[in-house]
Structure 1
Amino acid sequence: MADHYETLGVSRDASAEDIKKAYRKLARQLHPDVNPSPEAAETFKNVTHAYDVLSDAQQRAEYDAGGRNPFGGAGGFGGFGDIFDTFFGGGGGGRGPRSRQERGEDALLRIEVDLVDVMFGTTKQVEVDTAVLCETCEGSCCQPGTSPVTCDICHGTGQVQRTVRSLLGNVVTASPCGSCRGYGTIIPNPCVTCQGQGRVRARRTVSVDIPSGVDTGLRLQMPGSGEVGQGGGPSGDLYLEIKVRHDDVFSRNGDDVLCTLEVSMADAILGTTSTIKALDGDVDLEIRPGVQSGDVLVIKSRGITGLRSTTRGDLRVGVQVVTPQKLDHKERDLIRSFAERRREPNPKLAHFQQGLFAKLRDRFVS
């Protein structure tokens, strides 16, 4: 790479003002608005880079020192200096440049599913807004046909060393290069699509397998489906937080499905057969004569398939006997005649119950 002083046409002891004047003079000759030739554009980039380095006092000092300590090359000191180098990472044993590729961040998406989806599991197509790999540069961060160049401050090491003299010898410290930010290379022609990031934001569709038995609050992990990393680095993970929508008829207790069936007083007395529409299809239900409010009818293996299991829960149907509220004279006479024939005892106290629904709940979970 050409010497920055030669590129600007100034001496090594030129003042900051002389460097600025030289840059302005060359910029008026080489700027693309004035000189559209490809050669002038390339030279203008080199001139601009040289000015960026030499106009900054710290970067100029590092450039003049060649990215090394000024007391002996790459830190080859004797005596106490070698001891400090060993413990503090000085000399030629630095960590080297850091990679432009970084792992992407994890992403969290909340999705809603119906109770019927939970019964057997399902597949859903969901839209995710994340960072994806830049198709123009394919993660290289450079314009197609170009590549990064070695940093002329740190000479590709990603670090610059400074030496401090002390009574115990020379202590060498290393810090990330300010010119290349520790990468060891500079991208003179960054990709215009991703602005040199190697990734862009986009909306994409992801196919998600929802297993059976999931419940609200459960998180599913999809490795490698999150944000693409800086510089085209590996993707993070995508986490899906499940919310099961409320159903007006059915609820759940573990893997059991719960519902309530309203039965007329006549059907409760005489018994009947009813067909109910369950989540997974019709179910024929036999109601025995004399069924009581709060009784629970259990249909085996018509509930939810368990998470990471092939066993299904039960469908539990709670009975609620409905007492008619409006009767005509004939109906009242029939009921009165029935009561007189039965000669039932007067109402009496029994064990306290927290209402019908508490009774149903206790039987559901028993």
Structure 2
Amino acid sequence: MSKRDYYETLGVSRDSDEREIKKAYRKLAMKYHPDKNSGNKESEEKFKEINEAYQILSDPQKKRAYDQFGHAGVDGSAQGGFGGGFSGFGGGGFEDIFGDIFGGGFGDMFGGGSRRSHNAPQKGRDIKYGVNIKFEEAAFGVERELSVDRHEDCETCSGTGAKPGTSRKTCPTCGGTGEIRQARQTMFGSMVNVSACHACGGEGTIVEEPCQTCHGSGKVKKTKKISIKIPAGVDEGSVIKLSGEGEPGVRGGPRGDLYVVISVEPHTLFKRDGYDIYYDIPITFAQAALGDEIEVPTLDGKVKYKIAEGTQSGTVFRLRGKGIAHLRSGARGDQYVKVVVEVPKNLSDKQKDILRNFAKESGEEVHEQKSSFFKKVKDMLK
């Protein structure tokens, strides 16, 4: 019976790149691997077929020969599925793929190579801590003292978990290795499955008489006071990392890290955009028309600014260096001030006459809407 097209076997197109071919093979290998389909001859044959296809299509030279001459160009290159050893899985692909299938490394499967011991030192868990600060504190920086709940070594047993006067014992189940190794025969030869020891949880030692303070864990929860300098320029969502201030490590491993997440309260006057701040300042019609010297609030206090004669509503002026400090350089952004001309309400008769005369002198026609007009509109809508 003729062989299936290798591209069809892996379910990829002829213009697929190396990454797409490997991804397709990885998915099929995990699905049809004999160890996941024990006793299923059809899956075993399917696995051999996809493996043969991958050996050819993953090798650039063999792939070119196959693309040009078909199966005739690669006869003998993939006989027996694994006839040429594992050279067809270049670049660590074979180890990566079977690590996904078995949950361990290539060396673990075949009883050799490098692997990470289950009782090796491990870094402690990281801690996330939220801090709320004011707008001004974000602009100029602030120092805070944090109260962080984390685990510390038990003082009663010095972190061993064993009752004072006793000590931890070597686990009789794993002999102190922290892992259980089970060998089995497969179509590839002898494979070794490595898992954490169920008796000691991968520690390699057990506690026969647990400490009454920590109940054998060797850790107790405490509140630690930690000082932190929050630099000028932080913004909403900024994260500050404090190395080694997280949970304690396991089996002598280093502590985890503390990540401080900043939340900034909004300001009643200012709005921030990057390192610049924005502010809308109201002025009167007279100030806008005649010009004036006004006081503008800033993060550094009030400053004086001269409004030019004839300033229009919506005009924006800039105060250099009155914004937020840059985190790295320390240079400050700017403050942008938008002028908003307020229209007066509840004018007196005298003020109205003055405005009418002003409009007349300017050549403007003003069609005033008396209160009677609004009453007529209201009556029409009834």
Scaled by the length of structure 1, what TM-score is found? 0.61
What's the secondary structure of 2:297's corresponding residue? strand
Partner of 1:98: 119
* Among candidates 266, 272, 276, match of residue 256 of structure 1: 276
The count of corresponding residues between Structure 1 and Structure 2 is 260
Question: Contact between 1:225 and 1:237, CA under 8 Å: does it hold in 2?
Answer: yes
Residue 120 (structure 1) aligned with residue 140 (structure 2): yes
Q: Report sequence identity in percent.
A: 38
Match for 2:249: what amino acid?
G
Q: CA deviation at 1:217?
A: 2.3
Where in structure 2 are the equivalents of 1:129-168 lying within 5 Å? 129-159=149-179
Match for 1:315: what amino acid?
Q
Question: Contact between 2:243 and 2:257, CA under 8 Å: does it hold in 1?
Answer: yes
| Aligned counterparts of 1:236 and 1:136: Cα–Cα separation in 2 | 23
| Aligned counterparts of 2:203 and 2:337: Cα–Cα separation in 1 | 67
Question: Contact between 2:111 and 2:191, CA under 8 Å: does it hold in 1?
Answer: no
| Aligned counterparts of 2:148 and 2:246: Cα–Cα separation in 1 | 9
| Aligned counterparts of 1:168 and 1:271: Cα–Cα separation in 2 | 91
| Aligned counterparts of 1:171 and 1:340: Cα–Cα separation in 2 | 102
Partner of 1:111: 131
The root-mean-square deviation of aligned C-alpha atoms, in Å, is 3.3
Residue 337 (structure 1) aligned with residue 347 (structure 2): no
Closer/same/farther in 2, CA of residues 322 and 195 from structure 1, 3 Å limit: same
Where in structure 2 are the equivalents of 1:57-76 lying within 5 Å? none
Residue 324 (structure 1) aligned with residue 340 (structure 2): no
Q: CA deviation at 1:272?
A: 1.6
| Aligned counterparts of 2:349 and 2:116: Cα–Cα separation in 1 | 99
Partner of 2:255: 235
Match for 2:133: what amino acid?
V
Match for 2:110: what amino acid?
F
Gaps of 5+ in 1: 1-84, 348-366
Residue 289 (structure 1) aligned with residue 322 (structure 2): no
| Aligned counterparts of 1:221 and 1:94: Cα–Cα separation in 2 | 31
| Aligned counterparts of 1:336 and 1:129: Cα–Cα separation in 2 | 71
* Among candidates 226, 230, 246, match of residue 266 of structure 2: 246
Q: CA deviation at 1:302?
A: 0.6
Question: Contact between 2:359 and 2:365, CA under 8 Å: does it hold in 1?
Answer: no
| Aligned counterparts of 1:236 and 1:300: Cα–Cα separation in 2 | 42
| Aligned counterparts of 2:216 and 2:333: Cα–Cα separation in 1 | 55
| Aligned counterparts of 2:347 and 2:326: Cα–Cα separation in 1 | 47
Partner of 2:66: none
Gaps of 5+ in 2: 1-106, 368-382
| Aligned counterparts of 1:86 and 1:339: Cα–Cα separation in 2 | 93
Question: Contact between 1:140 and 1:231, CA under 8 Å: does it hold in 2?
Answer: no
Partner of 1:189: 209
